[in-house]
Chains A and B, each alone.
Chain A
């Protein structure tokens, strides 16, 4: 008999717990789930060829620049690694992304992808009538193939140029190299 009573009590307890769980999930689910119209996408600033030259100038610390586009498969594939690097080197290496997407995507696919990647680096979209001149002005061994990652030393010199998808271990080693303290000059 006791067993039966226990079972009845157990069923009641399980039912109460289930209702509480369902209600909690429903309430918290609504709070966490982003509502479509209200989700704030990251800001992507439009730049031209003149502004491009400015944004790739380091300001006091090394700078990692990634050129990409939402239509570029290897760019999308390497992005999670880049986001990891941005977090790992925050405060020691600045990091910006420059999209080569169509201008129409500046408020659509580009910020949506960055949001999906949880990318918080400053994001730009290059729009210029003369891509040839813009690419040439960077003075890099690059003809325009995406993706491209460049590590600049704090003095603005390009220390590492990686056309194509990054190899995380190599990029990490290159970042460590530019962060390594310079050997002291011999005393005279």
Chain B
């Protein structure tokens, strides 16, 4: 009890000392993601409940101008097609205030075979704590977060040795534990509507 109190005080002291400009409220692995409603590129309102897959859903934060996203587009499409056949649906989210509807629509039409939703005011990004593009949230069929982070360990795609997302899919689809549930990777920052 005493040790817990001391630890809590230390953690509080650290957080009191560090000033973080953007507070990201990361959804924890194992937490349920609430249903959300956002417009697609035609302006039609879509919900997570309607777009989710029978075996799970991937929410992927994307950008129309980020070079890292561009490098990943081919791989993301391939993975989406492969696993859609296994009941996992992809939903693209664009939360960048710097990319207008027309741009997001043309980019999505040219690049993705899954729905793209526009997150105006970055409300979903804030809710999930998304900061980067591309950034993945993989949910199970009940919208519980199973994996959060990068697609794989190589931005260029030339020497991928750890296909994090596919590994997570394969583990969960075969009823096994996902070993790596959280990864970080260099990407573009989400250009939020309100900076500070």
> Which single residue of chain A is at the shortest CB-CB distance from B155?
A131
Question: Once bound together, how far apart are the Cα atoms of A116 and B132, in whole Å?
Answer: 28
A159 with B19: in contact, given A130-B153, A136-B184, A167-B196 (CB under 8 Å)? yes
Are A161's CB and B149's CB within 8 A?
no
Are A163's CB and B187's CB within 8 A?
no
Are B19's CB and A164's CB within 8 A?
no
Count: A-B pairs, CB below 8 Å: 93
Are A100's CB and B21's CB within 8 A?
no
Are A160's CB and B19's CB within 8 A?
yes
Question: Once bound together, how far apart are the Cα atoms of A72 and B132, in whole Å?
Answer: 12
Are A74's CB and B191's CB within 8 A?
yes
Question: Once bound together, how far apart are the Cα atoms of A143 and B136, in whole Å?
Answer: 12
Question: Once bound together, how far apart are the Cα atoms of A147 and B187, in whole Å?
Answer: 9
> Which single residue of chain A is at the shortest CB-CB distance from B14?
A157
Question: Once bound together, how far apart are the Cα atoms of A125 and B67, in whole Å?
Answer: 18
Are B189's CB and A163's CB within 8 A?
yes
Residues of B within 8 A of A160 (CB): 18-21
A135 with B184: in contact, given A145-B132, A161-B19, A167-B195 (CB under 8 Å)? yes
Are B184's CB and A144's CB within 8 A?
yes
Please tell me if B174 contacts chain A, counting CB pairs below 8 Å.
Answer: no
- For chain B, residues 118 to 158, give those with C-beta under 8 angstroms from any C-beta of chain A: 131-133, 135, 149-150, 153, 155-156
Please tell me if A73 contacts chain B, counting CB pairs below 8 Å.
Answer: yes
Question: Once bound together, how far apart are the Cα atoms of A162 and B186, in whole Å?
Answer: 15
A159 with B17: in contact, given A132-B149, A170-B196 (CB under 8 Å)? yes
- For chain A, residues 123 to 174, give those with C-beta under 8 angstroms from any C-beta of chain B: 129-132, 135-136, 141-147, 157-165, 167, 170, 174
A143 with B19: in contact, given A131-B186, A163-B189 (CB under 8 Å)? no
> 26 interchain pairs (CB within 8 A)?
A69-B186, A100-B186, A129-B153, A129-B159, A130-B153, A131-B153, A131-B155, A132-B149, A132-B150, A132-B153, A132-B184, A135-B184, A144-B132, A144-B150, A144-B185, A145-B131, A145-B187, A146-B186, A157-B18, A160-B20, A161-B21, A163-B189, A164-B22, A164-B192, A170-B21, A174-B19
Interface residues of B (CB under 8 A from A): 17-22, 24, 65, 67-68, 131-133, 135, 149-150, 153, 155-156, 159, 161, 183-192, 195-196
Q: 9 tightest A-B contacts by CB?
A: A145-B189, A135-B184, A145-B132, A71-B67, A144-B186, A162-B21, A132-B183, A164-B189, A145-B131
12 additional contacts (CB under 8 A) given A141-B20, A145-B188: A72-B188, A73-B65, A129-B159, A135-B185, A135-B186, A143-B132, A143-B184, A144-B132, A157-B17, A163-B189, A164-B191, A170-B21
